[in-house]
Structure 1
Amino acid sequence: MLVAAQTVALGLFPLGALAATFQLEEATVSEINKAFGAGALTSEQLVELYLNRIEAYDDSLNSIITVNPDALEIARALDLERQTTGPRGPLHGIPVILKDNFDTFDLPTTAASLSLKNSIPLDDAFTVARLREAGAIFIAKANLTEYASGGNTISSLAGQTLNPYDLGRTPGGSSGGTGAAIAANFAVLGTGSDTGQSVRSPASANSLVGLRPTIGLLSRDGIVPISFTQDTAGPITRTVADTALMLDAMVGYDPADPVTATSIGKVPESYTDFLDVNGLKGARLGVVLDLFGQEPIHAEVNSVINAELEEMESLGATVVPVSIPNFTELTTNLSVTSYEFKETLNAYFASLGPDAPVKTIEELIASGLYDPSIKSSLEAAQAIESPLQNSEYLRRLQQREAFKETLLDLMDQYQFDALVYPHQQRLVAPVGEPQADRNGILAWGTGFPGFVVPAGFSTPSDTAPIGIPIGIEFFGRPFSETTLISLAYSYEQGTQNRQSPTLFPTLTGEEIEYESVPEPGMAIALSVAGLSAFSLKRKKTQNPA
């Protein structure tokens, strides 16, 4: 935010700076880089502010498994690099929280399981290495549903993560630790993985932006796997612009994940080029009626989403209700995760080398070192032998192809730019209850992209002071991330639905006033107006009681 300090008489005056305020709460990459550029903030200071929030608040939220003990030292080194050779790019010195199924050579990667409690991989996951090369700082690793096998974010290693908007509810999952942490402003950016809806569910439940990209856009190498057919990585952020920046850093062909070859020639110079505030003007959106619940428990979500569809129309979109032909037939018994889990997880254990704490899924089951909630998933996977010889597995793969063709035909028939629907038909589940009525199936059932953006909140209550977050999902053709970013950004900017949870307020030192150098176009106008500047000072904020 930029505010003018003082105006003087008309005429030409030396250019002054503008008084600006940096606020840690809801800080974006762009806002942080402005403060970096003005000399008002260093990466070391920024990391310390986020670590202070984790220390102050995570006992209540239980989102973090490991805090990086070297985060401040890494930040100091990146500050020195900024001073001597300049920033590597927009993510230089930016704090990131990784879901703890992303391999890191310098921190344990546990999949939130006691069975991998002290497991340190031999190297980084490909996407982690890309973020590290971009200058990102991994300040912590977040809890998840153990082995990413479910939607409630409970694990044997860390227990139950809570929703920052209502501590009696789950944060979605399986990337719920990342979702809760980013929503509570424990870092700027986060990573998740999505086999079913594990990036988009926490985004919806925590008023965040979550992208499940096209299979092949992001490497899965070094991410504790479930399914080579359905797994993908994805960013979890507070804004569409920050998602675009993360995507820029994370994409790339990786020989260790041959499917990434399909993305060659389909990646733009920068996804930020598609942040179009007018992206909804002239867009055609299909509203998938099959993905709206019809029971009383669905009424609150339906009310919010229907109002948001009207907002999209006011922003220039044409919204067309549509049903998917043979929807029930095409979506019943579609998942292939149980057929691929054993093969992929055993391969991951082998990648840890001879000292791996667990070497097979059979050994994992025998150890008992896992949360009881995933026992049935592990046992179902172990029971599968030779999936390529399994007729039901092969039938499901064929069904996926039919589902892809049906959705593409539907979008072509109506000339849709995207399909839209609530990510979850009911509010995210309370702690102890199963997650139900999630709508991730279009994306996980096809490998096409799904993009969740905040749509609003339920009615406030005693336990949820501003209500429970509700997310809306945009679904697109393969490698249509540029289109989805344009649509989602336009919707986000036109509605401003994201709100920070009030249960985790600002701490002392999280607001900094400083002098900001205006953009060139603005500089001319301000020079003519002769605006003066504020001196650099820190704005004191009272610690919460």
Structure 2
Amino acid sequence: MRTPAPRPSRRSLLALGSAAAAAPVLGATPAHAGTGGGQAPDAPDDFDELDIAELRRRMADGRLDAVRLTRHYLERIERIDPLLRSVIEVNPDALREARKLDGERRPRGPLHGMPVLLKDMFETADRMHTTAGSYALEGMRVRADSAVAARLRAAGAVILGKTNLSEWAGGMSLTHHAGWSARGGQTANPYKLDRSPHESSSGTGAAVAANLCVAGIGTETNGSILDPSSANCLVGVKPTVGLVGRGGMIPGVPSQDSVGPMARTVRDAAILLGTLVGVDPRDPATEASRGHQHRDYTRFLDPGGLRGARIGVARDVYFGYSHHADEIAEQAIAALRAAGATVVDPADIPTAGQLDDLPGQVVVQVYEFKRGINAYLAGAAGDVPRSLAELIEFNRENADRELRYVRQDGLETVHRLEYGEAEYREALGVNHRLARAEGIDAVLRRHRLDALVMPTSGPPAKIDLIRGDTYGGGSSTPAALAGYPAVSVPAGFAFGLPVGLTFMGTAWSEPTLLRLAYAYERATAVRRPPEYRAPDVGL
């Protein structure tokens, strides 16, 4: 078994992949205005940990409406989020939107009146900003909702606000600074406030864990849904690339980028996924999802869904970097067996030792990100940088705000490197072959498996804005390079810090992965709300 040595973040754009002073929020309603520094809850609030089904039941019988629920979350953000800095801004029109939904005769579906937070990568045609955490985009005005925002609004969800993230989805720096952006400051982990919220969808993870919304939406290039879900004791779904449209989203690495739900239960994640899927005219990759998308993923959920399932344990590379994660994973494997699954152990991905360090990762990420961000900035409305080169210059001219803690060596290296289309196509083909046919699909076929399991990542490391966070290891790379789905579900705690278990499968296997994750969740009931523990000298 190969144990990978710690190294700079593989989520940064070349390896791809504490509190700071609050950055003033731009024109929309500040998330932390008027607060007294944040206050952890002394007792659970009325709606803490309630799922979508229960909230809808209360709305159906008149005990609750969208306005009351939205006001509850807005007040909770005002009271608690200064501890976390997870919400970069709130929607100044959220209550008005909720009031309009309450006036409709019939609910649009299970998300009707449910307040949802979006990662600050999705365009919304309202008074909020879309900035990837950067001041460079504060002048941008979008013409239309992103595909994700449009689907949520059509389903009756209230877009409550936007969440903080690793600036430019982790592409700013080669050093790991999970949850830091110039606009939002440093997001903290609600389970222990000096711990990393883990990877670029960190604000969504911390906010959902802290019950600041019903659920949230994240994005992932490599680990940015799965890892913050693990670190914040959530269910995170990283779908097959192309299942959810990315039109109107600030681009990253399109061959790997996924959009998915982050929620406190598998059922809630399944509800959100069914809302998000569909062909998006602005995202050609979604054409491949025809015949593979489902409007209702809850129909696949079965508390006995592990009985008769064949699940393989991918040990090589994905165990061994954290003995805490290993111990929790071993307990999870025992729970799978006890629930009736046939566990094949080991069932290693044949190419696991090659995937994390593939030279082609750099080629693909640089080629796709450079072209995507240049095209996006060139077409943006407003007074913003028009290219990656202008963005880098903006950051230099505004170093007191943009480069206070985090260097932009990630952006600078991407700008400096240049790869041709032939070299890119070859690298992408190798990545796909090793991750798909010779990787995940090979081990699934060999052992006739429904899915693979492995620890999602280790317990979250301490935040270190000066030197960067430590990243010890994780299991997201095979699904990331393949463009295949994975689901992380809470599996246990190490000294109060959450650790997740990942279920990983082949393309379009979301129904199977959700069924297995749901049955595991029901059998183990690991999820518990955070305690907002203060920093100390121990773990």
The TM-score by the shorter chain falls in which range? 0.7 to 0.9
8 Å CA contact 1:22–1:31 kept in 2: the answer is: no
Counting only pairs closer than 5 Å after superposition, residues 323-472 of structure 1 correspond to structure 2 as: 323-333=348-358, 334-335=360-361, 336-353=364-381, 355-368=382-395, 369=398, 370-371=402-403, 373=406, 375-389=408-422, 391=423, 394-406=426-438, 407-424=440-457, 426-432=458-464, 433-459=469-495, 467-472=496-501
SS in 2 for 1:322: coil
Shift of 1:124: 0.9
Return the match for 1:266 from 276, 292, 311.
292
Query: Partner residue of 1:60?
Result: 83
Answering whether residue 311 of structure 2 is matched by residue 311 of structure 1, we say no
Structure 2: distance between partners of 1:252 and 1:269: 9
Answering whether residue 183 of structure 2 is matched by residue 153 of structure 1, we say no
After superposition, give the CA deviation of every residue in 1:334-378 in whole Å (9 maximum; x if it has no partner).
42222211111112223323x241211110001115346361210
Shift of 1:319: 1.2
8 Å CA contact 1:196–1:444 kept in 2: the answer is: yes
Shift of 1:396: 4.5
Structure 1: distance between partners of 2:248 and 2:145: 7
CA spacing shift, 1:178–1:22, aligned 2, 3 Å: closer
Structure 2: distance between partners of 1:159 and 1:286: 40
Shift of 1:385: 3.0
SS in 1 for 2:408: helix
Shift of 1:392: 6.3
Q: Which amino acid aligns with 2:134?
A: S
Q: Which amino acid aligns with 2:75?
A: N
Query: Partner residue of 2:271?
Result: 245
Return the match for 1:204 from 203, 223, 230.
230
Query: Partner residue of 1:473?
Result: 502
Return the match for 1:121 from 136, 142, 166.
142
SS in 2 for 1:170: coil
Q: Which amino acid aligns with 2:454?
A: Y
Shift of 1:191: 0.5
Structure 2: distance between partners of 1:163 and 1:361: 31
Query: Partner residue of 1:494?
Result: 523
The alignment yields a C-alpha RMSD, in angstroms, of 1.7
Structure 1: distance between partners of 2:254 and 2:332: 35
Shift of 1:287: 0.5
8 Å CA contact 2:318–2:474 kept in 1: the answer is: no
Structure 2: distance between partners of 1:399 and 1:179: 28
Q: Bigger shift: 245-254 or 365-374?
A: 365-374
Structure 2: distance between partners of 1:129 and 1:435: 35
SS in 2 for 1:454: strand
Q: Which amino acid aligns with 1:449?
A: P
Query: Partner residue of 2:92?
Result: 69
Shift of 1:211: 0.6
Return the match for 1:294 from 305, 320, 326.
320
SS in 2 for 1:214: coil
CA spacing shift, 1:93–1:430, aligned 2, 3 Å: same
8 Å CA contact 1:237–1:243 kept in 2: the answer is: yes
Q: Which amino acid aligns with 1:51?
A: L
Q: Which amino acid aligns with 1:455?
A: A
Query: Partner residue of 1:534?
Result: none
Q: Which amino acid aligns with 2:386?
A: K
SS in 2 for 1:54: helix
Query: Partner residue of 1:8?
Result: none
Structure 1: distance between partners of 2:100 and 2:152: 16
Shift of 1:232: 1.4
Shift of 1:71: 0.7
SS in 2 for 1:289: coil
SS in 2 for 1:445: helix
8 Å CA contact 1:339–1:393 kept in 2: the answer is: no
Q: What TM-score does the superposition give when structure 2 sets the normalisation length? A: 0.84
8 Å CA contact 2:152–2:275 kept in 1: the answer is: yes
SS in 1 for 2:490: strand
Structure 2: distance between partners of 1:78 and 1:364: 39
Q: Which amino acid aligns with 1:351?
A: G
After superposition, give the CA deviation of every residue in 1:209-242 in whole Å (9 maximum; x if it has no partner).
1011001101111111111111111111111111
Return the match for 2:189 from 163, 180, 199.
163
Structure 2: distance between partners of 1:261 and 1:283: 30
Structure 1: distance between partners of 2:393 and 2:86: 28
8 Å CA contact 1:290–1:324 kept in 2: the answer is: yes
Structure 1: distance between partners of 2:280 and 2:424: 31
Structure 1: distance between partners of 2:161 and 2:294: 30
Query: Partner residue of 1:485?
Result: 514
Q: What TM-score does the superposition give when structure 1 sets the normalisation length? A: 0.83
8 Å CA contact 2:319–2:454 kept in 1: the answer is: no
Return the match for 2:63 from 40, 50, 62.
40
Q: Which amino acid aligns with 1:194?
A: E
8 Å CA contact 2:431–2:482 kept in 1: the answer is: no
Shift of 1:436: 2.9
Return the match for 1:89 from 84, 109, 115.
109
Q: Which amino acid aligns with 1:304?
A: I
Q: Bigger shift: 142-151 or 163-172?
A: 142-151
Return the match for 1:193 from 215, 219, 229.
219
Structure 2 unmatched ranges of 5 or more: 1-43, 534-539
Q: Which amino acid aligns with 2:418?
A: E
Higher Rg of the two aligned structures = 1
8 Å CA contact 1:199–1:210 kept in 2: the answer is: yes
Structure 2: distance between partners of 1:269 and 1:234: 14
Counting only pairs closer than 5 Å after superposition, residues 488-527 of structure 1 correspond to structure 2 as: 488-503=517-532
SS in 2 for 1:25: coil
Structure 1: distance between partners of 2:289 and 2:153: 21
8 Å CA contact 1:292–1:302 kept in 2: the answer is: no
CA spacing shift, 1:269–1:68, aligned 2, 3 Å: closer
CA spacing shift, 1:125–1:413, aligned 2, 3 Å: same
Shift of 1:403: 2.3
CA spacing shift, 1:343–1:374, aligned 2, 3 Å: farther
Query: Partner residue of 1:130?
Result: 151
After superposition, give the CA deviation of every residue in 1:381-415 in whole Å (9 maximum; x if it has no partner).
112335414x3662343232232101212101100
SS in 2 for 1:347: helix
Q: Bigger shift: 109-118 or 395-404?
A: 395-404
CA spacing shift, 1:279–1:128, aligned 2, 3 Å: same
Bigger RCO (CA 8 Å, 6+ sep): 1
Structure 1: distance between partners of 2:251 and 2:471: 21
Return the match for 2:72 from 37, 49, 59.
49
